[in-house]
Chains A and B, each alone.
Chain A
Amino acid sequence: MPKALSFKANSVIYFRGDVADKIYILKDGRLLLTSADIETGQEIRELIQTGEFFGVKSAMGKYPRDETAMVLTDSQVILFSVPEFENLVLSNTRIIMKMLKVFSNQLRRIHKQVQNLIGTNDDKKPDEGLWEIAEYYRKNNMTSEAMYTYQRYLTYYPEGVHAVNATSILQKLETYVPTVSDTSGKAGVNELNISSVSDTSVQEETARGYYDAVSLFSQNKFVDALKAFKKIIDEDQDQEHIVKSEYEMGRCFYMLEQYDNCVRHMSGLIQKYPKHPDLKECLFYIGQSYQMKGDSLKAKNFYTKILKMAQEDEPVTIKVKRVLRKMERGDE
């Protein structure tokens, strides 16, 4: 049972640093809490109103008291043990709601102080922040995460400064073929979800076949992968996955060291689909095949062609530059 206690003026109910499991309500009188500002050490004084709780956080969390509670005039308080307090708030949701609000404000404030101190002040505008995260995911080839974030950006900020850009990137990503690095299943599953919105079951089956093939590729089973991609093309069911499979077949030829086949296949692909989303990658594989065959002149021609087409920060640009640097070093 909660107990009523009386305190004489100027007496202390508890000191800062005490560890105790008692919670109080001020019933009558005047009561002062004094604590130290954790940043400056300055004393903070807070008067408690009648009917207000104190000592809640430290008692519930079993932490040392943050503050000293001193009565200014003769006062009456009601003392609760933690279980008693819990019973009270469980039966009175208004109290719990009010406390949640107070705690939430405190949490927000201290969080902000910490952020200020470590210098990662999050005063960044949320639209700008969201955009930067989308860009981070895109640059790191985390396609499904990037897509999610661009979509969110467009949902919240359809008129935002980056909206046009986000739309066009999103369109590109939707036709994006997962590369070896993100065929670990995750991206594949999400892409399936996205495309399945309007798909029929036949298309779903093709998609499943396609992702099975992609996973064969990622396990270095290139002969099997090649067969599986060819099957999708021969079945001629779903244009989207046919185009993707054509590209993947070219990659299989390269991995199988069938460089002539790779060059022939990728060249044919470029002619057939001049707007293929992986056009630059196709050219890269052609360049690589020539290089493997010892024809560095032709290889270089393809590489420089890619650099002319691609933007500075695209992954393919970085790859091409690296290869070119290596070639130059080799030439010396």
Chain B
Amino acid sequence: MALDMSVLGRFAKSYKAGEIIFCEYEPGDAFYLIQSGKVRIVKIMDDIEKTIDILQPGEFFGEMALLEEAPRSASAITVEDAKLLEFNKENFEILMKGNPQIVLKLLKLFTKRIYDQKRRFMILTLPEDSVKVADVFLMLNETQPDTDEDEQEKTFHSSVEDIAHWAGMSPAKCHSVLNSFAAQRRVEIFQDRIVVKNINDFHRFVNSRRRSQKGV
């Protein structure tokens, strides 16, 4: 997207690598668009700092602050030296008039975030841990854009901790679920990846449970 930088230059801010842009629980009144550099979104959960996402140039963060001044739900820390455009309520108007494309992009981002959260919610409402884990793989599969539809075997470059996070369970519990899947030869667990031998098998498994859940 071509942006008119002459208008936006005044919103630019430079950050050094490792600098905190904002911290979880801070009141938020600005949101950011990354021009260069990378930003890590982290949350401290159970006394562990967990990376939720690593954002690239062109991506937004902190956008929820724009419309509701609620506390930040995560911290944003630069991974490398970064240049960001910072917008708040006051200058949002200027942004919007000069660059409505940015706002449109923001609208699309909201659409995606709502969808992602709903999808995650569907996983969390499933009745058993094993079904939740299987559905996490289905979700990850849906978001892998370039996969071959006919291919049954799927490789996921996720850690057991990542899967546990999405499934809303402890890593230990997730390990035990995955181990039992592995014993049934439904998955293979490697250091850097997890291979699901037959993604359709997981589809059938999750669908049957979801139906039975609705029947209740």
Contact = CB atoms under 8 A, between A and B. Distances in A.
Interface string B111-147: 1111101101110110000000000000000000000
Contacts of A132: 44
A111 B115 CA distance: 11
Contacts of A101: 67
Interface stretch (B5-13, B96-104, B177-185, B201-209): B96-104
B121 A38 contact: yes
A30 interface: no
A300 interface: no
A101 B68 CA distance: 9
Nearest to A102: B110
A97 B103 CA distance: 8
Given A120-B45, A148-B23, A106 B107 contact: no
B45 A152 contact: no
Nearest to A86: B104
A104 interface: yes
30 contacts: A38-B125, A60-B108, A61-B108, A63-B115, A86-B104, A93-B97, A96-B103, A100-B106, A100-B110, A101-B67, A103-B107, A103-B110, A103-B111, A104-B64, A104-B110, A108-B70, A117-B121, A117-B168, A118-B168, A120-B45, A126-B71, A127-B25, A129-B24, A130-B23, A144-B18, A145-B20, A148-B20, A156-B27, A186-B17, A190-B19
A117 B125 CA distance: 8
B103 A57 contact: no
A5 interface: no
Contacts of A148: 20, 23
B112 A61 contact: yes
Contacts of A97: 96, 103
Residue among B70, B75, B115 with most chain A CB within 10 A: B115
B53 to A, nearest CB: 14
B68 A104 contact: yes
Given A117-B168, A133-B75, A145-B20, 18 more contacts: A39-B125, A57-B114, A57-B115, A60-B107, A66-B118, A89-B100, A89-B107, A96-B96, A96-B100, A96-B107, A104-B68, A110-B121, A118-B124, A126-B27, A130-B26, A133-B44, A190-B16, A190-B19
A107 B64 contact: yes
A311 interface: no
Interface in A63-99: 63, 66, 86, 89-91, 93, 96-97, 99
Contacts of A140: 49
Interface bin, chain B = 35 or more
A136 B66 contact: no
B121 A107 contact: no
Contacts, number: 129
B23 A104 contact: no
Contacts of A136: 44, 47, 49
Given A126-B25, A133-B23, A133-B44, A107 B101 contact: no
B66 A104 contact: yes
Contacts of A106: 114
B173 to A, nearest CB: 13
A195 to B, nearest CB: 15
A250 to B, nearest CB: 28
A119 B170 CA distance: 12
A114 B64 CA distance: 16
A272 to B, nearest CB: 34
A20 to B, nearest CB: 15
Interface residues of A, number: 52
A97 B102 CA distance: 12
A294 interface: no
A64 to B, nearest CB: 10
B39 to A, nearest CB: 15
A317 interface: no
B24 A133 contact: yes
Contacts of A119: 168
Interface in A279-315: none
A122 B45 CA distance: 11
A135 B127 CA distance: 37
Nearest to A131: B25
Given A117-B168, A189-B16, A149 B107 contact: no
A122 B66 contact: no
A117 B168 CA distance: 8
Given A60-B108, A117-B168, A133-B25, A90 B114 contact: no
Contacts of B27: 126, 156
**Ranked 8 nearest A-B pairs via Cβ:** A129-B25, A118-B168, A103-B110, A186-B18, A104-B67, A126-B71, A130-B25, A61-B111
